[in-house]
């Protein structure tokens, strides 16, 4: 690690650079031939590690007023915007098999974490439980939950950097395994006597979802999106400051995170949810990725050298998740399509769950999206429960 004074310290310049990093990465992914490399190393990893590399070589500071400002305002705001389009009625129409299968996967993540920590605890640093607590958020709904839980329980930046590695290597490895099983889905469903009629039912139920379309973003849309997101985040912060903390698990900022999810879900029942058609979730993701750049800038690149043992912890953890998921799916007589999609709705969230769903049933990618949204909703609360169990084991 470079111990000299960083080259760039003023926060406006840092904000411009970190915004440029996010924009540049996604421009390369979407608009250039080099975008294929993101099939192997996802954009979110570049968003995190480029600022970390900049700090390690002395370009960026490990501490800045910008980092605290971005965390306190943009994280709650991003959650409000990401949950703005939640359609709980559509989620309910998926039926008990779909949601039940996904929740078995959630249970596997919550139970698997303390078991894996118990097995390897004597070889791991004391703050490992905090890193695993943050990772449980990513493995129950996606990266927004990971960052939210990380901030709620105060996960140190070093151990968080290692968990980013585990999330990528083990998480995407698991996704590859899940997709590879698609060729066996018919055989497995016949072997276990699964009624495939639910697939046809889901196809019909998703017709309305397929008919929804995006519309061009107007200035008023963008203005209202920013106003709703930032105001919802700020109100959550102010109310969170009034609520008492609960041990080491839920701080005043943790309350703000929980409240922001309620605000987002509450607004999803109003006409404001129509802002999703104009790109509300894109603005929410931009806020989230800017936060990730500042988190990366605070991390120590040397922590990655500790990753091998943590990778093994992650493998054991996901093995337990898979066992719970498969046994739960068999109990519910769910088809492999729902088992695979339910797993990725936990481990990957709204980004990759539709991908896995389309591998199994090309016309049912929206089912993966809805199950991913369900994982995003329960992920924060299940992740906090998982962090509590981990703290007991630690």
Question: Residues 302-361: pLDDT tens digits?
Answer: 555 656 788 899 999 999 999 999 999 888 888 888 888 889 888 877 666 777 887 787
Helix (H, G, I), strand (E, B) or coil at 250: strand
What gap in Å lies between CA 82 and CA 85, rounded to an integer? 7
Q: Which residue, among 290, 273, 233, has the nearest Cα to 83 in the 3D structure? A: 273
In sequence order, the β-bridge partners of residue 250 are: 246
What gap in Å lies between CA 150 and CA 70, rounded to an integer? 14
For 205-219, write each residue's pLDDT tens digit: 555 554 555 678 889
Residue with tokens 């109310």: 239
Give pLDDT, residue 104.
Answer: 93
Using 50, 70 and 90 to split pLDDT, how confident is the model at 14?
very high
Using 50, 70 and 90 to split pLDDT, how confident is the model at 66?
very high
Q: Who wins on pLDDT, 295 or 80?
A: 80
What gap in Å lies between CA 365 and CA 346, rounded to an integer? 15
For 18-31, write each residue's pLDDT tens digit: 999 999 998 998 88
Burial code (b: 16+ CB inside 10 Å, e: under 16) for 50-59 equals bbbbbbbeeb
Spell out the alpha helix ranges (H) of 193-300: 197-205, 207-211, 219-242, 252-267, 280-297
Query: Which range, 110-119, 291-300, 372-381, has the best average confidence (pLDDT)?
Result: 110-119
Give pLDDT, residue 320.
Answer: 95
Q: Any residues with CB less than 8 A from the CB of 114 and at least 6 apart, and which? A: 386, 389, 390, 392, 393
Burial code (b: 16+ CB inside 10 Å, e: under 16) for 241-261 equals eeeeeeeebbbebbbbbbbbb
Cα–Cα distances (Å) from 179 to 175, 346, 353, 356, 364, in that order, read: 6, 15, 11, 6, 15
pLDDT at 16 over 90: yes
Task: State the CB neighbour count (10 A cutoff) for residue 269.
Answer: 12
Residue with tokens 């990366």: 296
What gap in Å lies between CA 13 and CA 20, rounded to an integer? 11
pLDDT at 290 over 80: yes
Helix (H, G, I), strand (E, B) or coil at 221: helix
Token pair for 385: 């429960």
In sequence order, the β-bridge partners of residue 246 are: 250
For 32-50, write each residue's pLDDT tens digit: 888 777 776 777 778 878 8
pLDDT at 301 over 90: no
Cβ distance 205 to 371 under 8 Å? Answer: no
Average pLDDT value for residue range 368-375: 75
Backbone angles phi, psi at 320, to 5 degrees: -65, -40
pLDDT at 190 over 90: no
Q: Which residue, among 26, 41, 79, has the nearest Cα to 373 in the 3D structure? A: 79
Token pair for 347: 């481990």
pLDDT at 250 over 70: no
Q: How far is CA 49 from the centre of its chain?
A: 17
Give pLDDT, residue 214.
Answer: 65
User: H-helix or E-strand containing 30?
Assistant: helix 11-31
Using 50, 70 and 90 to split pLDDT, how confident is the model at 1?
very low
- Give the distance between the most distant pair of CA atoms in the chain: 66
């Amino acid at each position: 690690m470079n111990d000299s004074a960083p080259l760039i310290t003023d926060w406006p310049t840092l904000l411009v650079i970190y915004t440029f990093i996010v924009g540049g990465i996604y421009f390369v992914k979407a608009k250039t031939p080099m975008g294929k490399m993101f099939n192997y190393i996802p954009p979110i990893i570049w968003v995190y590690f480029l600022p970390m590399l900049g700090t390690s070589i002395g370009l960026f500071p490990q501490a800045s007023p910008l980092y605290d400002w971005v965390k306190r305002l943009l994280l709650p705001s991003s959650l409000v915007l990401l949950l703005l389009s939640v359609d709980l009625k559509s989620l309910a129409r998926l039926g008990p098999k779909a949601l039940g299968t996904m929740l078995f996967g959630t249970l596997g993540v919550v139970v698997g974490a303390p078991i894996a920590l118990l097995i390897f605890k004597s070889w791991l640093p004391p703050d490992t439980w905090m890193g695993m607590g943050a990772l449980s958020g990513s493995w129950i709904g996606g990266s927004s939950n990971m960052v939210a839980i990380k901030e709620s329980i105060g996960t140190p930046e070093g151990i968080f950097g290692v968990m980013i590695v585990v999330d990528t290597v083990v998480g995407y490895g698991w996704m590859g395994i899940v997709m590879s099983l698609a060729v066996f889905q018919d055989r497995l469903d016949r072997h276990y006597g699964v009624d495939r009629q639910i697939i046809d039912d889901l196809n019909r139920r998703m017709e309305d979802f397929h008919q929804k379309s995006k519309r061009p973003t107007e200035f008023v849309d963008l203005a209202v999106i920013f106003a709703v997101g930032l105001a919802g985040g700020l109100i959550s912060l102010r109310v969170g400051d009034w609520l008492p903390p609960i041990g080491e698990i839920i701080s005043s900022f943790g309350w703000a995170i929980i409240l922001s999810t309620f605000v987002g879900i509450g607004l999803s029942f109003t006409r404001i949810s129509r802002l999703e058609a104009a790109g509300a979730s894109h603005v929410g993701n931009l806020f989230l990725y800017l936060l990730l750049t500042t988190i990366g800038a605070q991390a120590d690149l040397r922590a990655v050298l500790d990753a091998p043992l943590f990778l093994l912890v992650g493998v054991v953890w996901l093995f337990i998740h898979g066992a719970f998921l498969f046994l739960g799916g068999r109990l519910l007589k769910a088809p492999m399509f729902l088992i695979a999609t339910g797993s990725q709705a936990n481990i990957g969230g709204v980004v990759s769950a539709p991908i896995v769903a389309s591998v199994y049933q090309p016309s049912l990618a929206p089912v993966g999206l809805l199950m991913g949204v369900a994982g995003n909703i329960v992920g924060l609360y299940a992740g906090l429960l998982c962090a509590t169990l981990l703290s007991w084991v630690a």
